[in-house]
């Protein structure tokens, strides 16, 4: 039971052609190799069924120089967006008119079709993570159609369907300006709403399982919030990788979903002690790795669930920031502790394309099943935030402009 590394996946590469002006020297270059570069992936599920995926991601025709559309218009480009003027609860999310302007060199303007809601949006709204300025528009994931391209930019044209996840923040808007080298083409085999719901979560699952700690056949892993957006993908993907998956959930309904997603053992933490249950399931040995997005409520127990030289991967804090841990607490079992974020694992263009390509390939081949269980109008983002914080949601949540 193995998951081979991608080697073929067709991406027409985006080429930024600088203008001769000195300012163009500052544009980050990304070469999308207009001779299509294939990446593919071969996977076997736990029954030995072979999956193979190969499909094209089409970008615009190469060599066509484009300038920003509507650039001659002197009137502001006003769109509706969610704005945060002060930190606080969901009520601070305000539906307002904003002027997004026109794309500059190396930029595109995108009309969003679907926007992914992620818990990191809550962290920025509450001030757990610091926004660079106020007011700000939250959101770090969306799929949309290119409506304008900046001067000197080729390889991308109006009408292209693209997705992005991560920086820059600001996807809670009808339209937004994005760096062209931060978007990826969306394959025709993937629905835009599905793509918007899964790209950030999927790339998070990819780096957690494949790079942060490399899950292999025979490993036993613990996934908290196993029915959540990232948790669901972790369970499915780890199962295909050959791991024994233990998941924690809060309700019986979520337990059923986690089981369907490949959890071999599901712990209802509201009814039983997950530390004691993990100890029982592993015959006292513990697990190789814990993927903990809950934080304060589970952190200490997660450390106790690890085997000798186990990995504690803390990638979220939905219940609050964990209490400080002295380094000496890791010594008795020589534990490893890391607090990773996606942004540090998709630093280069190649890393971004590889991560996105693997996610889209797994969706297309059926290895990953994405549940978009909840959709809200973008104007009702406050209600969506309230529901996700109170754990009324499962799977992925999408905002629709």
- The parts of the chain modelled with pLDDT lower than 70 are 1-76
Helix (H) or strand (E) holding 373: strand 372-377
Partner residues linked to 51 by β-bridges: 43
How many residues does this entry show for the chain? 401
Question: Residue 215 and residue 220: Cα distance in Å, rounded?
Answer: 9
The predicted structure's pLDDT at residue 28: 37
Residue 242 falls in which region: left (phi positive, over 0), alpha (psi -120 to 50) or beta:
left
* DSSP labels, 21-58: SGGGGGSPP-B--SS-B---EEEE-TT--EEEE--EE-
Whether the full predicted model's pTM is greater than 0.85, yes or no, is no
Strand residue runs (E) in 120-249: 141-149, 161-165, 175-179, 184-185, 220-223, 244-249
Query: Phi and psi dihedrals of 388, rounded to 5?
Result: -70, -35
Pairing of strands 372-377, 396-400: parallel
The predicted structure's pLDDT at residue 76: 64
The predicted structure's pLDDT at residue 319: 86
The predicted structure's pLDDT at residue 71: 40
Sequence-separated (6 or more) residues with CB below 8 Å from residue 253: 394
Number of helices followed by number of strands (H, E) in the chain: 8, 19
Helix (H, G, I), strand (E, B) or coil at 302: helix
Domains of the chain: 219-339 (3.40.50.720)
Query: Do 177 and 101 meet the contact criterion of CB atoms below 8 Å apart?
Result: yes
| Cis amide bond preceding 135, omega within 30 | yes
Sequence-separated (6 or more) residues with CB below 8 Å from residue 154: 15, 16, 17, 60, 62, 63, 64, 65, 66
Query: Phi and psi dihedrals of 129, rounded to 5?
Result: -105, 145
Helix (H) or strand (E) holding 111: strand 107-117
For the chain, what is the largest distance between any 2 Cα atoms, rounded to a whole number of angstroms? Answer: 71
């Amino acid at each position: 039971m193995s998951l081979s590394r991608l080697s073929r996946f067709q991406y027409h590469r985006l080429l930024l052609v600088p203008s001769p002006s000195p300012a163009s020297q500052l544009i980050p270059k990304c070469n999308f190799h207009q001779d299509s570069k294939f990446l593919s992936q071969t996977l076997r599920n736990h029954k030995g069924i072979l999956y193979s995926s190969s499909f094209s991601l089409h970008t615009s025709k190469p060599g066509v120089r484009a300038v920003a559309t509507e650039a001659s218009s002197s009137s502001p480009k006003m769109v509706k967006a969610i704005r945060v003027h002060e930190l606080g609860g969901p009520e601070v999310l305000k539906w307002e008119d904003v002027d997004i302007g026109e794309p500059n060199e190396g930029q595109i303007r995108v009309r969003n079709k679907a926007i992914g809601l992620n818990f990191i949006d809550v962290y920025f709204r509450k001030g757990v993570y610091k926004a660079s300025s106020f007011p700000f528009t939250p959101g770090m994931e969306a799929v949309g159609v290119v409506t304008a391209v900046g001067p000197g930019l080729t390889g991308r044209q109006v009408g292209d369907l693209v997705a992005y996840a991560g920086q820059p923040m600001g996807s809670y808007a009808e339209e937004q300006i994005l760096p062209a080298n931060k978007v990826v083409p969306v394959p025709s085999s993937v629905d835009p709403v599905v793509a918007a719901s899964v790209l950030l979560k999927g790339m998070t699952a990819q780096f957690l399982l494949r790079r942060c700690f490399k899950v292999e056949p025979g490993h036993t892993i613990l996934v908290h919030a196993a029915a959540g957006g990232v948790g669901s993908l972790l369970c499915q993907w780890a199962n295909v990788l050959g791991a024994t998956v233990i998941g924690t959930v809060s309700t019986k309904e979520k337990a059923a979903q986690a089981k369907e997603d490949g959890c071999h053992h599901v712990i209802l933490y509201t009814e039983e002690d997950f530390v004691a249950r993990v100890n029982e399931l592993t015959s006292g040995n513990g697990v190789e790795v814990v993927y903990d997005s809950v934080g304060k409520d589970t952190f200490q127990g997660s450390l106790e669930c690890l085997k000798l030289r186990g990995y504690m991967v803390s990638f979220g804090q939905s219940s609050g920031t964990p209490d400080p841990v002295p380094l000496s607490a890791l010594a008795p079992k020589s534990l490893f502790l890391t607090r990773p974020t996606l942004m540090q694992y998709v630093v280069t263009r190649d890393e971004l394309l590889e991560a996105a390509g693997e996610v889209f390939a797994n969706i297309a081949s059926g290895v990953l099943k994405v549940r978009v269980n909840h959709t809200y109008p973008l104007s009702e983002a406050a209600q969506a935030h309230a529901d996700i914080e109170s754990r009324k949601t499962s799977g992925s949540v999408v905002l629709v402009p």
